[in-house]
Chain A
Amino acid sequence: MRLSINGKAVDIDADPDMPLLWALRDLAGILGPKFGCGIGACGACTVLVDGAPIRSCSMPAGAVKGAVTTIEGLSKDGALSPVQQAWFEAQVPQCGYCQSGQIMSAHALLEKTPDPSDEDIDSAMAGNVCRCGTYPRIRFAIKKAAAFKRARA
């Protein structure tokens, strides 16, 4: 099958039932999306399909119709995206394992809601678990990223 991943057409020899996550990781060598639960309950595998956050562990690769963006596709020309920059400056990650998914969910949130309230953040980010408990810094970094985006706009 042919998928659009981070702006490139990629041919993948995957069974259509194979979850997008494993097609990306094992067949396309794209390792940013992580495996956490396999049932769409932890958010570590979050990628964007046409800009919307989806749990790639629970979406069959054969069902993907739009353009896939993983964390590898966020930084342009080597520069961190506003969300990544905010994450870096707020020193959000601890173990870092869930952070690809967190950053993708935050990116999607800010595209739709440029100035999110605490409630907006709660509802957009509740699907992403962090066992290191980085939540206070995630909240702070999302607001910082929103400010970066406004400044760049």
Chain B
Amino acid sequence: MADIAKIARRTFLIGTATVAGGVAFGYWYVNKPYPNPLKKGLGKGETTFNPYLKIAADNTITVIAPRAEMGQGISTTLAAFVAEELDVPLEMLKVEMGPTSKAYYNDTVLRESAPYPWFNDSPQAEILRDAFGAMSKVIGLQTVGGSSSTRDGFDRMRQAGAAARHMLVQAAAKRFGVRPDELKTESAKVVHTRSGRSLTYGELAADAGKVSPPSPLKLKEKADWKLLGKSQRRIDMLVKVTGAPIFGIDVSLPDMLFGTVRMSPVFWEKPSRVDLSKAEAVKGVVKIVPLDTTYGHGFGVIAENTWAAFRAAELIEADWGAPHYPADTAAVAKALNDAIAGGAPTVMRDEGDVDAALAGVPEGRLVEADYAVPFLAHLTMEPQNATARFSNGKLEIWAGNQTPTLVESLSGAAIGLDAKDVTAHTTFLGGSFGRREADATIYAAIMAKAMEGRPVKVIWSRQEDLRHDVYRPAARGRCRARLGVDGFPEALDLRVAVPSVIGNIMRRAFPSLSPLGTDVTITQGLCDQPYTVPNYRVSGIEADLGIPVGFWRSVGCSFNCFFHESFLDEIAHKSNLDPAQLRRRLMKDFPAARAVIDKVTEMARWDEKLPQGTAKGIAFSLGFGAWVSQVVQVKSTPSGIRIEKVWIAADIGTAIDPGILEAQLISGAVFGLSSATNQEITLSGGQVEQSNFHDFAAMRINQSPQFEVAILENYHKMGGVGEAGVPAAVAALANAVFALTDKRVRQLPLSREVSFA
């Protein structure tokens, strides 16, 4: 098993078009279930039915929602899947993240790493998706990402509820001496209506646990859903309006020490000529330990309180080293410009004959544009942090994180432990947006080892958090089009140059493995859009810069949508075509795409004439299984451009919780608009220049527009919504700025050329 998992991990991590080592792991490996992790540590009177459910004799019903809650509402939705089939009101459930276990693998996130557009349902695409999904199960990757958790839990967790309900009914039938079909379930009870008898699930649990789960399972029809499809009260609301200690930063353990880190501001470099004397002299400092990891080098400061640790960290003196990568923003720009001009492209979409179509284009029918986006930080409200305790050869970790199985293996490896000797507890996350990798837990593990027996809570300063992020990569886009006599594009040639996110994560997490093939996130959102153009080519160029980059909400779509949708807007204006109508026509083969354009233009009264000084822009994105169109309205004011209103129409096939979906779409749009208006991470001397909220600003309430959201359910497959709000908001804003100012801003942030109120 170990070897197979290693091969699978290698194959998965490249997230590539090449499925190295073959796709078949054998039926046995893929279908062998993981043991139920809840069997260990059951309380008195508790019975577990499967990895998602346990019921105690006192009728306490605990559902495991094994995806990190970082604000997306996933704990509520996953619990609702079980509750729906189990016939229990959501308020009656106790919902927990549960233990870290391979049993909670996420196969959906990897399914969509297969290099096929969402709308490609061909047997070939499905075979590869299944193969990627199978890999996830073999590795046992417990993770949240790629807007995958709802889709991933939809069948499995409803089945968990349905199976348990069946077992409870069987047990009740035996007790009552009646046929199971005479019984019904409601509010965590099995009821025999005719005799008026009933038993709670708690009273039946011990017997029911001995019943064999049914096969096959019958799930409720959509029309019979009581909870799903309707907005639920989130199960995490009460703790979040009372300031309860639910985050990693709130972990409190007996005899706990506090700490922080000071990593070399020059990525990957090891400090020399170190002077710790001033830092060690700070009152309350207990110990300063070197941190030498695949994420970088620096120091961990352990103290009696966080404040002492922060002050000491600032007083560490060292020669931090010289950068071995483009050291400033001009050098980054040059490297990316060189890459897009001369790098080796991988063609990810190629229809017709683009070279022939672009040869000898008649005067006035060639459109060309270059676009640029900067590095971006995640800026989670809760800075990176982790708490660790090392004692008797075992490591325990408490942290908000997206991938607990990986946190266990990497944090353990950093101090020479096997993953089996590491236990990770996943707390609530104060935001993540793709940020929370294993660096914070690795550092905490090393610091805890130095203080054997005592837990250490390690909190990064905001400056450290911003300067040691895994950034959304800077990227360049180069677009060319040949227009037909009707103004519509006859040929599109789109190219992107960007560092590989997957390759970069490999360097940090698995430095001994080398990436294979092409990282599909490079052209994500560029090569997979639902437009039909006779000659249509999309290529990606991997431009490694040696600067740490990572998953940032919507990943490749975050920049590729800006390139693609800005360029379509340029074509529309050049051809005197309405930008919405241009898209509609290019989408003629994709009714789900057209429907969101139609809905959003209707909501926003797209065709209505606007007063002078007000303008609208539109954009579309298909990513993470969500078909999204957004319209942004902007207005000129004496203090700058004001974003007045945003309309969003999104189709994710099946809408499980409209309230949460609306919140996520707005959240994504605010996140995207924040980035597009003024965010950028720049370098000088190899070091990140920004340090806090004043120079890497996020949208505030006085800048926030009004929103109107429509959720459609036309498409036959269920998509995800955590990332879907970001991409089109950025492009629609850029297009609105053009409509307002006649200035086509081809670089982000837009504040480089216009100013916002």
Q: What residues of chain A have their CB less than 8 Å away from a CB belonging to chain B?
A: 15, 18-19, 22, 25-27, 29, 31-39, 41-42, 44, 70-72, 75, 80, 84, 87-88, 91-100, 103, 121-123, 125-126, 128-139
Contact = CB atoms under 8 A, between A and B. Distances in A.
B380 interface: yes
Contact of A94 (B71, B249, B305, B693): B71
Given A38-B462, A96-B239, A97-B382, A31 B252 contact: yes
B249 A95 contact: no
Interface string B658-688: 0100011011111100100000000000000
A6 to B, nearest CB: 11
Contacts of B244: 32
Interface of B: 70-73, 233-234, 236-247, 249-250, 252, 258, 283, 305-307, 310, 379-383, 428-433, 459, 461-462, 659, 663-664, 666-671, 674, 692-694, 698-702, 704, 706-707
Nearest to B430: A97
Given A131-B381, A136-B704, A31 B245 contact: yes
17 contacts: A71-B242, A87-B241, A88-B238, A93-B240, A95-B381, A95-B382, A95-B429, A97-B381, A129-B698, A131-B431, A131-B433, A131-B674, A132-B381, A133-B668, A135-B701, A136-B666, A139-B701
A41 B698 contact: no
B485 to A, nearest CB: 44
Contacts of A130: 381, 701
A48 to B, nearest CB: 13
A95 B247 CA distance: 10
B241 A133 contact: no
A119 B176 CA distance: 65
A80 B430 contact: no
A95 B692 CA distance: 20
Contact of A93 (B237, B258, B459, B692): B237
Contact of A103 (B233, B241, B461): B241
Contacts of A132: 71, 381, 431, 667, 670
Contacts of B462: 36-39
A133 B659 CA distance: 14
Contact of A96 (B233, B428, B433, B704): B428
Contact of B701 (A34, A95, A138): A138
Given A93-B241, A134-B663, A37 B305 contact: no
B699 A133 contact: yes
Given A26-B307, A36-B462, A122-B701, A94 B381 contact: no
B241 A99 contact: yes
Given A29-B252, A31-B245, A95-B429, 17 more contacts: A18-B305, A22-B305, A25-B306, A32-B244, A32-B245, A33-B243, A36-B693, A39-B692, A93-B241, A95-B71, A95-B431, A96-B240, A100-B243, A130-B701, A134-B667, A135-B700, A136-B666
Nearest to A26: B305
- Among A19, A36, A99, residue most surrounded by chain B Cβ atoms (within 10 Å): A36
Contacts of A19: 307
B702 A34 contact: no
Q: Nearest 4 A-B pairs (CB), nearest first?
A: A133-B670, A32-B243, A97-B430, A95-B71
B381 A42 contact: yes
B704 to A, nearest CB: 4
Contacts of A34: 247, 249, 381-382, 430
A129 B306 contact: no
A131 B379 contact: yes
Contacts of B241: 80, 84, 87-88, 92-93, 99, 103
A125 to B, nearest CB: 5
Given A31-B245, A133-B671, A136-B706, A91 B233 contact: yes
Contacts of A44: 381
Contacts of A99: 240-241, 243
Contacts of B659: 91
Contacts of B433: 131
Nearest to B704: A135
A88 B243 contact: no
Given A31-B250, A125-B701, A95 B428 contact: yes
Contact of B243 (A18, A42, A71, A94): A71
B307 A94 contact: no
A94 B667 contact: yes
A75 B242 contact: yes
Contact of A18 (B73, B307, B382): B307
B666 A133 contact: yes
Nearest to A87: B241
B540 to A, nearest CB: 29
A98 B381 contact: yes
Contacts of A41: 692-694
Contacts of B698: 129, 131
Nearest to B669: A133
B455 to A, nearest CB: 13
A38 B460 CA distance: 11
B310 A38 contact: yes
B504 to A, nearest CB: 23
A62 B666 CA distance: 41
A34 B702 CA distance: 22
A35 B249 contact: yes
A68 to B, nearest CB: 14
A98 B247 CA distance: 11
